Amino acid sequence: MNIKILNKTAIALVANSKGILAMDESHPTCKKRFDDLNINVSEESRRSYREMLITAESLFNYISGAILFDETIKQKTKKNVPFPDHLNTIGIIPGIKVDSGAKPFSCHPNEKITEGLDNLPKRVEEYKALGARFAKWRAVITIGENIPSKACIIANAQALARYASICQEMDIVPIVEPEVLMDGAHDINKCFEVTNETQSIVFEALDKLDVNFSGIILKPNMITPGNKCNSKSSVEEISKLTIKCLENNVPKEVPGIAFLSGGQTDQDASNNLNYINKFNNNPWKLTFSYGRALQLEAMKRWQGNNNNILEAQKIISNRAHLNSLAASGKYDLKMEKNKY
């Protein structure tokens, strides 16, 4: 493990108000998104879509890293350039999702445990040879009746810690993603309580396995009410509770925190990040690692038709630009009116 390399990569991923593009949807998730828009599902349509994203003009001004999927890291552009090489050429760091998904958690109905530790050292080594310099592992915590159980949080935290340790040994920066889902009718205080406990147990597990905090990126959910909650929360409340939760749990050595969007609208994801940055007095950089809140509008415009590539690219670049402004507290909702 070379901590200088790890720290340098982690800092680069959150520098200059840039964020990380999550484009690592598994085949079933990608199929669902394509099916919703009547887009033909095939290896070539996934390749073509992802080429559209990573060749968008000026994307590199706002995006520091791109998280790829197993299939995507091995794909090439139409000009026969492997995706990781193209990304490196334009100054975007290639990364890779290495978990194999959230599966039913034994003896705990309605809860999930993320799997993928089997053969992980070998897989990380292969991805590193293909150009990956960072990785992602997503744990999923669900709020519901009598859940989450402490057992679910502990099991997921242990897997995250083991994954992080394996990555660091190979100088690959682990993105540690404990996602407390927005699904449900719970209020913002319940989200705070569960996320606070989850982050606390995750950092304890990382510490127990000697994971070096200066060589990781945390990818958490923001503190928001559930998507079926009757009472809405203000952007100020969301920002303050999100920062409070991080202050309770995240060591100062962690270079950066890159939020997931988790089902928020594009505007909410940008506006909340903007306010979080306005209120932040901590050493960590606070930025975005969005999937849906960066891509969905561009995917709708692309619609599986390569004649729409340029229009779709304008949309993804514009969204990345707005989120980059939010990462430095310079976003304003009024900017949403200036369409491309």
Which residues are the active-site residues?
Answer: 177, 219
- How far apart are the C-alpha atoms of 290 and 28, rounded to whole Å? 18
Nearest CB to ligand 13P, comparing residues 18 and 307: 18
Nearest CB to ligand 13P, comparing residues 275 and 306: 275
Nearest CB to ligand 13P, comparing residues 275 and 290: 290
Nearest CB to ligand 13P, comparing residues 252 and 277: 277
Task: Answer whether 313's CB lies under 8 Å from 56's CB.
Answer: yes
Q: What sign results for the dihedral spanned by CA atoms 149, 153, 154, 156? A: positive
- Which residue's Cβ lies closest to ligand 13P? 291
Nearest distance in Å: CB 20, ligand 13P: 8
Nearest CB to ligand 13P, comparing residues 3 and 331: 331
- How far apart are the C-alpha atoms of 93 and 164, rounded to whole Å? 18
Nearest distance in Å: CB 138, ligand 13P: 4
Measure Cα distances from 136 to 35, 177, 244, 259 in Å. 25, 7, 24, 13
Burial (CB count within 10 angstroms: exposed 0-12, middle 13-18, buried 19+), residue 263: middle
Nearest distance in Å: CB 168, ligand 13P: 20
Triad 248, 254, 255: Cα angle to 5°? 130
Nearest distance in Å: CB 128, ligand 13P: 20
Residues 6+ apart with CB under 8 A from 21: 53, 59, 63, 65, 66, 67, 92, 289, 290, 294, 295, 320
Task: Answer whether 184's CB lies under 8 Å from 147's CB.
Answer: no
Nearest distance in Å: CB 79, ligand 13P: 28
Q: Which two tokens stand for residue 322?
A: 């707005």
Query: In the complex, which residues of this chain contact ligand 13P (CB under 6 A)?
Result: 22, 138, 177, 260-262, 290-293
Residues 6+ apart with CB under 8 A from 129: none
- How far apart are the C-alpha atoms of 77 and 277, rounded to whole Å? 36
Q: What sign results for the dihedral spanned by CA atoms 269, 273, 274, 279? A: positive
Nearest CB to ligand 13P, comparing residues 178 and 255: 178
Nearest distance in Å: CB 22, ligand 13P: 3
